[in-house]
Amino acid sequence: MFEEAGLDVTTVPMTGAGTVVTALSNNSIDVVDQSPIVAAKYNQDGGEARLFCGTTDRQWGSIVRAAGGAPAIADGEDWKEAVRSWKGMSFGVPVLQGAVHFWTLDIIEEAGLSSDDLDFIATGVGEAALSSLETGQVDLLWTWPFLTQMLGDRGEVVFDVAEQAPDQISDQMQAGWIANARWLDENPDAAQAFCETMESAIDFVQNPANASEVEPILQDAFGVDGQTAALALAEDGPMIRLTTTLSCNSLMLALEGAVRHGQVAETPEQNCDTLLSPVAAAEEN
């Protein structure tokens, strides 16, 4: 699709925010899909990055337990009661003092618990994290697509962050396409073509008529099985949450959360005017 748009795109493997920041600062990459908090921290350290195209404008994580596990399942208006019942349990997060750790604190504090009421354990991600759940190292685990769909009969969702968390948590921007402001100024047509191509790709993926074509692509790209790919593409699956639209409201909620937990400093310069530079396909809402 990029070739059809006249773009020559090379994929560069990136692991961790530190690697991303270094690559942006030395111009070894032009665009990257990352958390808006990474952009905000980069700018506070002297960079000048902008989000120009969206990917996920809301949270799409889940909290899961092992099959038959003790943690109560949050349901409807009683979710706070269920969360309070997790007191004293162990909770797996990718890294301590990371974004997931802080999002979890927001959820449990909204329910009336404190950081001392759960034992947070760094489990990493992927199958290693699932293993920590299966072996009983943790009672609860934060997962994302496609890890949630890979659970199968090994576990079950006890809390759907997008559907059950308060708006100030669930509506936080998860990620978007980031570039240096200078690159965007010098390459406006490329930025627009890139985002329009991403929008076309999302439309194709979200069209149920294309499921038979998309499923094997997901299997090859992410190493998941057919059932996991099918669940991801379902009407209530995570792929439906993809969008190129950039939301000022969801960005500000993410920034407020990051400031609250000390991830970034509170400065008037960090706002939608300085962090968002949407192109046509990513019209701000």
Domain coordinates in residue numbering, the chain: 17-58+173-282, 62-170
Q: Mean pLDDT across the chain, nearest whole number?
A: 89
Closest by CA to 226, choosing from 156, 138, 150, is 150
Express each pLDDT in 8-66 by its tens digit: 888 888 777 788 888 888 988 999 999 899 999 999 989 999 999 999 878 888 999 99
More confident: 144 or 207: 207
Instruction: Tell me the pLDDT band of 190, cut-offs 50, 70 and 90.
Output: very high
* Percent of residues, the chain, with pLDDT higher than 70: 98
Q: Is the pLDDT of residue 283 over 80?
A: no
* Half-sphere exposure for 136 (CA within 13 Å, toward CB): 3
* Half-sphere exposure for 265 (CA within 13 Å, toward CB): 7
- pLDDT for position 177: 95
Place of tokens 């009672």: 139
* 17-58+173-282 classified as CATH 3.40.190.10: yes
- pLDDT for position 162: 85
- pLDDT for position 31: 93
* 62-170 classified as CATH 3.20.20.70: no
- pLDDT for position 263: 87
Can you read off the two tokens belonging to residue 214?
């998309």
Express each pLDDT in 209-242 by its tens digit: 999 999 998 888 888 888 888 888 888 888 888 9
Can you read off the two tokens belonging to residue 22?
């270094």
- pLDDT for position 280: 61
